Chain A
């Protein structure tokens, strides 16, 4: 089999501690990146961009963000939807307030603004833990949605309370608005996701990530070995919110183009992203991708299959789809409580030993 370590020698610490120490993994990773950047943009059309790739990429960013907080640092958060709303509204205010600045700057600034808000709502985490913290972040979720509904300044006093993304360009190519080419949407999100995932992977491997994991595993012990819970927890909230804010900004500006806060960033969104990381695997970057893919692509796939292929009535298909997705979630969690990432890891272990498992 291709998947083996025999002959794959490491002669330096750098080589040994790289992200993908096994050669096969490394090659696979390069191939996927090459396809994502070099092949997909040439073939993508509006349907694939808007229904499949762009939502997948954006949810993957949000899932990585929440995974940093919940998976790596152990702080349960139900405020994801609210933080995404902060990113979206910050991006909207920046886009309309400073129309001449490139959109990428707005998206990153929206991330920083969300990071600030996230730190603010992360303060209670210093005193409360677990379910109680989840309830505190739930308050953030409801408060933020209420705020964006209540204060007309956030939606520029529009009649309906909707925010609509005007056309903004990057290097002369539209990235937001209705005239955006499919490949531009896709590449814009992909570049941001690639940079953020790369950053997250290295953050979590470094000292910052180890501090987070120490807090997650046992906060008192972590404090005794010299980890400052204040900085560790708040940095997790800040980094996580930064990611989620960027996801929210992209969700609004690139993906949907017009949102209303209650519908797009309600409590369901918080749960959806939480389910993504639980199904994908807590404390894993690959798990964030797998979870996002599972919950974004499976419903679309099932719908196309049941309605497009089998010709079922749309309502029947929608109900069956809910049951199938729900059933699969339960199935996966029974078979592998640690998520798709663990499933993948076990598969890899088996392949390494093949054909002589013990």
Chain B
């Protein structure tokens, strides 16, 4: 007991460091350790570097410097809670934890604390319903959009008919991996394909039995909802059983260089969804190189520059910075609060012209949020890995999801949440 108290007393002294309050504080709950670090590192680097760029090139946003407070979660929910509690004081503006599990925990907490949660392409899909989820934003696209886009793409490939086909879903056995199941089940009723659910347990390094099952069942297509080391292992296993790579489609969290590169030439032809454009042919990279990389201010080791997940972290930072700008515009002050930022998120519109101004023409889809719609249009691209050139090529333009199926599902799930938590709908 004495030891405990001594440790506590020492920790008390350490907890009293409070940052200057005038800056814009953006916590970054990142993970650079553990089995999910391959995805966490580039995302965190892109996120930090974009804000560094704004600070260095423009002197911050609206004259206010952005201060990133990074906290290591290791993709673990207990550490995520600790990080959230440690960073939420001192004017934290927004959370972007890049973990569906942590997001589920933060949804009620952040609403109680009045801090917006921005979860692009992950988290709780039904948070797209702003009538129920006042503090959560997940535009431009979510998991159910992704599942629907993947099926639409397969429909296109098969002349509009999937009946009699067998589609396997290889998923991370967690909240993240289970998210698309509901949509895929609904869509299977509509289009007549057979859905085969194959879970892979955390962390996903052991997939022999799953691929044995795939070899036995011979599905026409395999969709994958994987993350971290699970991706590369799955692609390697697919190569081992000579599964045709062009019939193997990953979600947008299973489509980075780091997932396919270890498999080498055998990964050629592997496809994945993408929320945004890929590659370094965007003007913003010139500025990033000039102000961040060459100035020696890059986050992490600086070796992730331009990768898929780096650009996704950058995209998330971009949307947050635009929301901050919007909030500054709305309040007329440069120093904003988390509640102002929530209003900024809700009024945010990013047009193609704005993306071009920001140095990312044709990178992401334009979207406009409203009080009821926190989910955005939800379209996605399909990209394919070219192993000899070591780059991702975009195969399609943005494919819109099947809202006819998704809208009722989002309503149903969000209303169940509202009922459980006694939330009255807003925006009416």
Contacts and interface: CB of A to CB of B under 8 A. Distances in A.
Contacts of A222: none
Interface in A155-179: 158-162, 164, 166-167, 177-179
Interface residues of B, number: 57
B11 A314 contact: no
Contacts of A178: 108-109, 111-112
A262 B77 contact: no
Contact of B178 (A46, A160, A305): A160
B11 A300 contact: yes
Given A166-B420, A257-B108, A47 B17 contact: no
A3 B179 CA distance: 60
B70 interface: yes
Interface in B282-305: 300
B86 interface: yes
B391 to A, nearest CB: 27
B32 A315 contact: yes
A325 interface: no
B124 interface: yes
A263 B112 CA distance: 25
A32 interface: yes
A55 interface: yes
Contacts of B17: 308-309
A40 B362 CA distance: 56
A301 B37 CA distance: 23
Nearest to A164: B104
A55 B124 contact: no
A47 B201 contact: no
Given A160-B124, A162-B104, A260-B175, A55 B4 contact: no
A286 interface: yes
B423 to A, nearest CB: 11
B4 A293 contact: yes
B1 A47 contact: no
Interface residues of A, number: 55
A32 B5 CA distance: 9
A329 to B, nearest CB: 15
A264 B104 CA distance: 13
Nearest to B81: A50
Given A256-B77, A258-B105, A318-B33, A32 B1 contact: yes
A212 interface: no
A314 B32 contact: yes
A124 B61 CA distance: 65
A297 B178 contact: no
Given A166-B420, A256-B78, A319-B33, A305 B7 contact: no
B237 interface: no
A2 to B, nearest CB: 13
B199 interface: yes
Contacts of B404: none
A71 interface: no
Contact of A266 (B14, B202, B421): B202
Contacts of B14: 301, 304-305, 308-309
A255 B77 CA distance: 11
B101 A50 contact: no
Interface string A283-304: 0001001100110011011011
A96 B421 CA distance: 11
A293 B1 CA distance: 8
B163 interface: no
B368 interface: no
Contact of B179 (A160, A264, A322): A160
Most B C-beta atoms less than 10 A away, residue of A28, A177, A260, A303: A260
B85 interface: yes
A160 B202 contact: no
A236 to B, nearest CB: 26
A55 B78 contact: yes
Nearest to A343: B3
Contacts of A47: 15, 85-86, 89
B72 A303 contact: yes
A258 B109 CA distance: 11
A119 to B, nearest CB: 27
Nearest to B201: A262
B174 A51 contact: no
Interface string A319-345: 100100000000000000000100000
Contacts of B421: 166-167, 177
27 contacts: A32-B5, A50-B82, A50-B85, A159-B125, A159-B126, A159-B178, A159-B181, A160-B100, A160-B104, A167-B422, A177-B108, A255-B81, A257-B105, A258-B77, A258-B105, A289-B4, A293-B3, A300-B82, A301-B11, A301-B14, A304-B15, A305-B14, A307-B72, A308-B17, A314-B71, A315-B72, A317-B72
Interface of B: 1, 3-5, 7-8, 10-11, 14-15, 17, 30, 32-33, 37, 41, 70-72, 74, 76-78, 81-82, 85-86, 88-89, 100-101, 104-105, 108-109, 111-112, 124-126, 173-176, 178-179, 181-182, 199, 201-202, 300, 413, 416, 420-422
- Nearest 6 pairs of A and B residues by beta carbon: A315-B32, A178-B108, A178-B112, A160-B175, A314-B72, A51-B82
